[in-house]
Amino acid sequence: MAKSRDNVVMQGASGKIGKMLVFRQKGDQTIIARTAKKRPDGKPYTSDQLAAQNRFVDASLYAKKAIKDESLKALYQAKANVNQSAYNVAFKDFFTPPSVRRLNDLEYTGQIGDEITFLVKDVLMVTTVSFEIVDSSDVVIESGIAEAMDDAGVEWKYSTTVANPGYADALYRITMLDTPKNITTVIKTYGADLG
């Protein structure tokens, strides 16, 4: 996709040229893009293709809704780089699941009140994190809500509530809810994510 600003020849151009190019206007810019291709074989789309198209539409609807909320729009705009809008960042946030980084369980020794800390990376912010400790047979030993240690939703802490003599074989199931209300679950093993 190309963009043109203040170009006397291209200014105000819109429409299709042949079967290759489409011109669109966005503010003071002329956007030049390839035309969308249709399936040449005329076959119907597969269920995976339809699911991807539906997810794209859902992301677009979320981004439109997000930029209508002035406070949410400001948060997204603050994350945007030079060539991005709040809409672009909100759209990306819908598609990008959060991830858990630097899980620190050095203080977890199977005792009640031990703390497990971790960082969460997301496009905007994770709003809620549920934390489960499970054994190697996937039996839940305990579960609860992790506590945010900052306003940005980056640093989190979980304080244990159940004694666990088999803590060295523990798995952590961390389920995150982000700003677009997507739910992402990751599994971490005891002692494997330090650094």
All domains of the chain in start order, with CATH: 1-35 (no CATH), 54-95 (no CATH), 99-189 (2.60.40.1220)
Q: Which residue type is seen at 82?
A: V
3-state secondary structure of 59: helix
Q: Which residue type is seen at 88?
A: N
Q: How large is the average pLDDT for residues 127-150?
A: 94
In this structure, what DSSP letter does residue 167 have? G
Helix, strand, coil percentages in the chain from 3-state DSSP, rounded to 5 = 25, 35, 40
Q: Which residue type is seen at 6?
A: D
Range with the poorest average pLDDT among 107-111, 123-127, 188-192: 188-192
- Residues with Cβ within 8 Å of residue 25, at least 6 apart in sequence: 12, 13, 14, 31
Range with the poorest average pLDDT among 28-37, 68-77, 117-126, 181-190: 28-37
- Report how far apart the first and last C-alpha atoms of the chain are (Å, whole number): 40
Long-range own/partner contacts, residues 130-134 (CB < 8 A, 24 or more apart): 130/174, 130/175, 131/158, 131/172, 131/173, 131/174, 131/175, 132/172, 132/173, 132/174, 132/175, 133/160, 133/162, 133/164, 133/170, 133/171, 133/172, 133/173, 134/170, 134/171, 134/172, 134/173
Span 91-104, pLDDT tens digits? 999 999 999 999 99
CA-to-CA distance for 3 and 25, rounded, in angstroms?
Answer: 10
3-state secondary structure of 107: coil
Q: How far is CA 78 from CA 34, 85, 139, 169, 190, in A?
A: 30, 9, 42, 42, 36
CA-to-CA distance for 130 and 7, rounded, in angstroms?
Answer: 53
Per-residue pLDDT band at 37 (split at 50, 70, 90): low
Question: What pLDDT is stored for residue 191 in this prediction?
Answer: 82
* Alpha carbon 187 to chain centroid, angstroms: 17
Residue in this structure with the two tokens 């011109």, named with its chain if needed: 23
Residues 135, 166: contact at Cβ < 8 Å?
yes
pTM above 0.85, yes or no: no
